Amino acid sequence: MTDTLKKPWLGTPAGTIEILQKYGFHFQKKYGQNFLIDPHVLEKIVRAAGIGPDDCVVEIGPGIGTLTQYLACAAREVYAVEIDRNLIPILADTLSAWDNVTVLNQDILTVDLDRFVREHNGGKKIKVVANLPYYITTPILMEILGKKVPLDSVTVMVQKEVAERMQALPGTKDYGALSLAVRYYTDPQIVAKVPPNCFMPRPNVGSAVIRLTAKDEESRVEVRDEKMMFGLIRAAFAQRRKTLANALRNSAELQLSREQIAQAIQSCGLPEGIRGEALTLEQFAQLSDAFPSKE
Ligand code: SAM
């Protein structure tokens, strides 16, 4: 195979339409199919992900293989996980010039990524890159971040508002459970805003590329019981207009008494009427440690 054939050629409106027509492909709304058609955006994603010749990349939802072509040119190896079986023969065609790409016809939520990394990358860290299907952005990210998958970074296109929530700081309207989970596991950085005309079909919302650089376990905020901390965070933001104390008391999941809550809030030096949205990640960790251990 010559190098000229190995150049990405799909990320344009004409290239995409040609492939869609050749295969009579119809977009499936239920799978969040909005394909990228702008080479500048594609290059920006690969640059932001910092993909180099030693990298093993997992791409979620390759679609017709547009971003995959760019990734295959930059990485050592690419595993592309696509749920829609109608796309599999198309991917075999559009990726035929690259022998470092493996396509898996699977739902990403059913892939055991930890096992996958052990088997395919000798347990070394992978990079996840995707133009994510917007209908399941949060479940996919929580699945990847919450599991102990050896991870270098996750660079993804998401709905602009979701990217802003991921990067939000305490006291802002966008700050919530997602911001805290993302900050616990990673350092987030929005790297580009992307308008609807960079996709086919055009989504009804603006998009953004965000890079989440994974933190090693040692550099995460220290907390005795991660589960307890995330339970507190969920409860605090389930009723974000209520005081932290009331939100925690109303949580069926936590089952904490009024006295336990008041004591914990006080021992952290927080005002009685504080709302959860004012607490930093460090303060949630401190609050979590202020409750008696369940073990
Ligand atoms: N990467 C392509 C691009 O940028 O042009 C396509 C991106 S499109 C927004 C999302 C892709 O994710 C679609 O191909 C869709 O079929 C696929 N997808 C949706 N849900 C999925 C899931 N649970 N697991 C794997 N792929 C999924």
Q: Please report whether residue 6 resides in a domain.
A: no
Give the CA distances from residue 47 to residues 5, 42, 183, in Å, rounded to whole numbers and listed in that order: 21, 9, 22
Partners of 81 in beta bridges: 60, 104
| Segment (H or E) for 81 | strand 77-82
CA–CA distance, 111 with 32 (Å, rounded to integer): 19
Write down the pLDDT at residue 5: 58
Same domain as 235, residue 215:
no
Residue bearing the CA closest to ligand 1, atom 5: 35
Write down the pLDDT at residue 50: 98
Residue bearing the CA closest to ligand 1, atom 22: 107
Q: Please report whether residue 235 resides in a domain.
A: yes
The domain total for the chain is 2
Q: What ligand 1 atom has the least distance to the C-alpha of 33?
A: 8
What is the whole-number distance in angstroms between the Cα of residue 81 and the centre of ligand 1?
A: 8
pTM of the model: 0.95
Same domain as 237, residue 97:
no
Q: What ligand 1 atom has the least distance to the C-alpha of 16?
A: 5
What is the whole-number distance in angstroms between the Cα of residue 64 and the centre of ligand 1?
A: 9
Tally of CB atoms within 10 A around 167: 20
| Segment (H or E) for 36 | strand 35-36
The best mutation among 45, 46, 82 to test binding of ligand 1, ranked by most ligand atoms within 8 Å of the C-beta, falls on 82
The answer to whether the CB of 213 falls within 8 A of the CB of 200 is no
| Percent share of the chain, pLDDT over 90 | 93
Q: For the domain that residue 29 is a member of, what is the CATH number?
A: 3.40.50.150
- Sheet strand arrangement including 77-82: 101-105, 77-82, 56-60, 126-131, 151-159, 207-214, 186-194
What is the whole-number distance in angstroms between the Cα of residue 62 and the centre of ligand 1?
A: 6
Same domain as 148, residue 17:
yes
Q: Please report whether residue 101 resides in a domain.
A: yes
Same domain as 183, residue 51:
yes
Q: How confident is the model at residue 1 (pLDDT cuts 50, 70, 90)?
A: very low
| Segment (H or E) for 125 | none
Query: Domain ends where: 219, 238, 261?
Result: 219
Which tokens hold the place of 242? 């209520």
Q: What are the backbone dihedrals phi and psi of residue 6, each rounded to the nearest 5 degrees, phi first?
A: -90, 5
Query: Domain ends where: 219, 247, 277?
Result: 219
Tally of CB atoms within 10 A around 183: 23
Same domain as 76, residue 26:
yes
Q: What is the pLDDT of residues 255-275, one digit of tens each?
A: 999 999 999 999 999 999 999
Same domain as 30, residue 152:
yes
Mean pLDDT of 245-253: 95
CA–CA distance, 213 with 158 (Å, rounded to integer): 16
CA–CA distance, 73 with 42 (Å, rounded to integer): 12
Which tokens hold the place of 219? 């550099």
What is the whole-number distance in angstroms between the Cα of residue 32 and the centre of ligand 1?
A: 7
Residue bearing the CA closest to ligand 1, atom 18: 61
Q: Please report whether residue 279 resides in a domain.
A: yes
CA–CA distance, 90 with 78 (Å, rounded to integer): 17
Q: Please report whether residue 3 resides in a domain.
A: no
CA–CA distance, 120 with 71 (Å, rounded to integer): 17
Same domain as 157, residue 19:
yes
Write down the pLDDT at residue 270: 97
Ligand 1-lining residues (CB < 6 angstroms): 31-36, 60-63, 66-67, 81-84, 87, 107-109, 131, 133, 136
Q: How confident is the model at residue 140 (pLDDT cuts 50, 70, 90)?
A: very high
What is the whole-number distance in angstroms between the Cα of residue 157 and the centre of ligand 1?
A: 11
Domain that residue 26 falls in: 13-219
Q: What is the pLDDT of residues 23-67, one digit of tens each?
A: 999 999 999 999 999 999 999 999 999 999 999 999 999 999 999
Query: Domain ends where: 202, 219, 236?
Result: 219
Same domain as 214, residue 254:
no
The best mutation among 40, 60, 71 to test binding of ligand 1, ranked by most ligand atoms within 8 Å of the C-beta, falls on 60
Mean pLDDT of 269-291: 97
Same domain as 95, residue 33:
yes
Q: Please report whether residue 4 resides in a domain.
A: no
Residue 122 φ/ψ region, left for φ over 0, alpha for ψ in the -120 to 50 degree band, beta for the rest: left
What is the whole-number distance in angstroms between the Cα of residue 60 and the centre of ligand 1?
A: 6
Compute the CA torsion angle 176, 181, 182, 185 (nearest 10 deg).
160
What is the residue-wise DSSP string for 221-239?
PP-S-HHHHHHHHHHHHHT
Same domain as 245, residue 204:
no
Q: What ligand 1 atom has the least distance to the C-alpha of 62?
A: 1
Same domain as 211, residue 102:
yes
Same domain as 142, residue 121:
yes
Q: Please report whether residue 171 resides in a domain.
A: yes
Q: Please report whether residue 274 resides in a domain.
A: yes
Give the CA distances from residue 215 to residues 154, 228, 239, 273, 276, in Å, rounded to whole numbers and listed in that order: 11, 20, 29, 33, 24
What is the whole-number distance in angstroms between the Cα of residue 185 and the centre of ligand 1?
A: 24
Q: For the domain that residue 239 is a member of, what is the CATH number?
A: 1.10.8.100
Partners of 210 in beta bridges: 156, 190
